[in-house]
Amino acid sequence: MKTLLAFITLTIPTFLIGQVTLDSASIIPGIGDTVDYYIVDNPGSFAGPGTAGVDQVWDFSAMKVGDSTDAEFEGPRGGLQSDPANTNLCEQYTGFTGTRTQYKSSPNVLYIMGTRSGITQLSYGNDSLLKFKFPVKYTNTQTSNYYFSSGGISNTKRSGSYKVTVDGWGAMFLPYGGLNDILRVKIEANYNDTTGRFRPRFSVYSSTTYEFWQKGTGNYVMSVKYEDDDGSLDTVITYRKGTQVVVSEVDTTKEDTTVIVDVAAKKKLQLYPNPASDKIQVNAPGISADTKVHLVNLTGSFRDVVEFQNGSFDISEYPNGFYILMIEGNAYEPIRFIKQE
């Protein structure tokens, strides 16, 4: 029996240690959040999105900064151009004609309810596209079906598939530094459009997108999209600015799987009072005053990022409900608390 136990210990695979998983509270932005992106100058010179698998190190440090854009997260709109029913979060890119994506988010799932570009709205209704089931982890995969019919004079109809596969985890380098706790998501979209009631026009669309998500950072860190619209292949690469992600040292050495690896336990935070109505106090020895602290409600619809300072936080203006407090980095476990009057 002792021999068998030794064999199991010596052959334990690396991916059982340190695997990255994502939950809704740590990656879904809140209403009012703004995300700034760079757009790569010359995507034709881009070497590719890297290799799938575990314990990867993706190196994109040679990319050149190009134009910038930003996405702002808003609540759903009503009125003449109302967002689809059940939408509770919308991603609006710069300008009125910028793409607006509508989501349904919860601690369990993230759905894409529809998109709008200018005045053209596509709403998926009951056939909304499933982006994530939480917790998101390596090898997760799911496929949703596109179906959309606008009716009216244009009579646009769309059918196809939307497949999401989590195909890798590890660390990455961007021009401003290294990022740990990265999960890579591959998205394959294929659909056919028929437009026009009397003389219908047909178009075929396909795209493959690689999104790199960092644990604890709302919305993706980097997106590499290869899109083919009517036979024309384009590459669009965007990545976040360094002030909006957790930049850290990246260890590119591989673990030796023939020895026992000791994983340091995360420290526990002390938070009081809990429940609280106006202020909370957090005790965490060794944290510097300028360390970032994320306070997020469980639905991901509210997020506040502040500096630790002396560990006292004013929550008097927060909506009532359950929250998670997270210290940036990997040293401390997140802690839950309740805000109530």
Please report which confidence band the pLDDT of residue 298 belongs to, taking 50, 70 and 90 as the band edges.
low
Instruction: Give ranges for CATH 2.60.40.10 in the chain.
Output: 270-339
Query: pLDDT of 22-76, one tens digit each?
Result: 999 889 999 999 999 998 888 877 888 999 999 888 999 888 878 888 899 999 9
**pLDDT per position as a tens digit, 145-191:** 887 766 555 667 778 899 999 999 999 998 888 899 999 999 999 98
Rama region for 277: left / alpha / beta (φ>0; ψ in -120 to 50; rest): alpha
Interval 169-182: pLDDT, tens: 999 998 888 899 99
Residue 285 burial (CB count, 10 A): 7
Question: So what's the pLDDT on residue 299?
Answer: 59
Q: Is 176 exposed, middle or buried (0-12, 13-18, 19+ CB in 10 A)?
A: middle
Q: Does domain 21-244 have CATH number 2.40.360?
A: yes
CB atoms closer than 10 angstroms to residue 22: 24
Q: Spelled out in words, what is the top-level CATH class assigned to the domain 270-339?
A: mainly beta
Residue position matching structure tokens 């894409």: 112
pLDDT confidence of residue 330: 67
Every domain range in the chain assigned CATH 2.40.360: 21-244
Burial group, residue 258, by CB count within 10 angstroms (0-12, 13-18, 19+): exposed
Which pLDDT value is given to residue 279?
94
Strand 312-314 with 279-283, pairing: antiparallel
Phi, psi of 90 (to 5 degrees): -130, 140
Q: Place 137 in a pLDDT band, splitting at 50, 70 and 90.
A: very high
Contact 112, 71 (CB under 8 A): no
- When mean pLDDT is compared across 163-177, 277-291, 316-330, the lowest value belongs to 316-330
Q: Determine the Cα–Cα distance for residues 25 and 217; give it in Å rounded to an integer.
A: 10
Average pLDDT in the chain: 82
Question: Does 294 or 125 have the greater pLDDT score?
Answer: 294
Asked whether the CA dihedral 19, 48, 253, 242 is positive or negative, the reply is negative
